[in-house]
Amino acid sequence: MIVRVITGIVGIALAAFVIQTGGWVFSAFALVLSLVGWYEFTSAFSQNGTGTTFFTGILGLVLLWGCAWLGNAEEFMAVSIFILLIVLLESVLLHGRVPFDGACISIAGIFYVGFPFAHLLMLRFLREGEMIGTPLGNFEYGCAMIWIMFIGTWASDTFAYFTGSLLGSHKLCSSISPNKTVEGFLGSIVGTTAAVAALGHMFFGLPLVNMAVLGLCISILATLGDLVESVMKRHTGIKDSGSLIPGHGGVLDRFDSVLFTAPLVYYFVVISYLLGNGKLFQ
């Protein structure tokens, strides 16, 4: 527990530095995390003998990261089609080493890891140059959204854990994650909705209702993201995706919920902007 707490404190401090710095530092961290996540994904499936396209996956992740850096939807589509076709072709050209099911799992893994981290990058650089005034000074708009996303995701995990530990008696999804309870999930919904609403409205000055709705959505998607990784771990027979983070497991263990909440927050902001006729959250 002590190791877990110390690692958590160091991790939060590092995350704060990276998020606030932005630029190439944030971009580099996003790329490294996605590559480590891909390594963990392929290592997990190698446990049950599934051959994956490891090096093609690296190429795909780098290309998706580059598309996010440039922010061009057409390039995203082109790269996605390229990844899909080249991996399927590997099942033909390297049939003895990459079976068809391995190619399909590789495609799923590249998109499962690559798209969310690409959206994390796009969220951080969303509406560059636009600032939000706070009690601690001005925040870049994308920086504020990243904080809302991360704190909302952490709040979801925290409220679910403590509510479930204190009140949990009804299993939420025992065949996938036996420790999750209905009470913990409801605690996550209430706590995350309140936390995101308070942070977004009181600190960043964003509309209360929008922030409450976003908090509700984050709590649901964070839980689903956690369950998706649990399904993967049960399928491959592993306990943790890795051991990179002492006391916390691997990158996928720590970012399983973020893989779902990062795209959610990005599109929530984009759609809110469109519905507001060009005015953010109006």
> What whole-number distance in Å separates Cα of residue 2 and Cα of residue 177?
25
pLDDT of residue 280: 54
Cβ-contact 146, 124 below 8 angstroms:
yes
Residues 214 and 95 in one domain: no
pTM exceeding 0.85: yes
Q: Which of 110, 125, 140 is where one domain is finished?
A: 125
Residues 159 and 182 in one domain: yes
Q: Which helix (H) or strand (E) holds 57?
A: helix 54-70
pLDDT of residue 129: 83
Residues 273 and 140 in one domain: yes
Residues 98 and 161 in one domain: no
> What whole-number distance in Å separates Cα of residue 20 and Cα of residue 154?
18
- Domain count for the chain, please give it: 2
180's tokens: 């999750």
Residue 241, domain extent: 131-282
Residues 91 and 68 in one domain: yes
Residues 221 and 252 in one domain: yes
Residues 6+ apart with CB under 8 A from 79: 60, 63, 64, 66, 67
Residues 108 and 220 in one domain: no
Residues 145 and 46 in one domain: no
| Residue corresponding to tokens 């706590």 | 191
Q: How many CA atoms lie within 13 A of 32 on its CB side?
A: 8
pLDDT of residue 98: 82
Amino acid (1-letter code) at residue 155: A
Tens place of pLDDT per residue across the chain (282 aa):
676 767 778 888 999 999 999 899 999 999 999 999 999 999 999 887 788 899 999 999 999 999 998 877 778 889 999 999 999 999 898 877 788 999 999 999 999 999 999 999 999 998 888 899 999 889 999 999 999 999 999 999 999 989 988 887 888 888 888 888 999 999 999 999 999 999 999 999 999 999 999 999 999 999 999 999 999 999 888 888 877 777 678 899 999 999 999 999 999 999 988 887 555 554
Residues 61 and 76 in one domain: yes
Q: Which of 125, 145, 164 is where one domain is finished?
A: 125
Residues 263 and 168 in one domain: yes
Q: Which of 125, 144, 166 is where one domain is finished?
A: 125
Residues 145 and 160 in one domain: yes
Residues 73 and 99 in one domain: yes
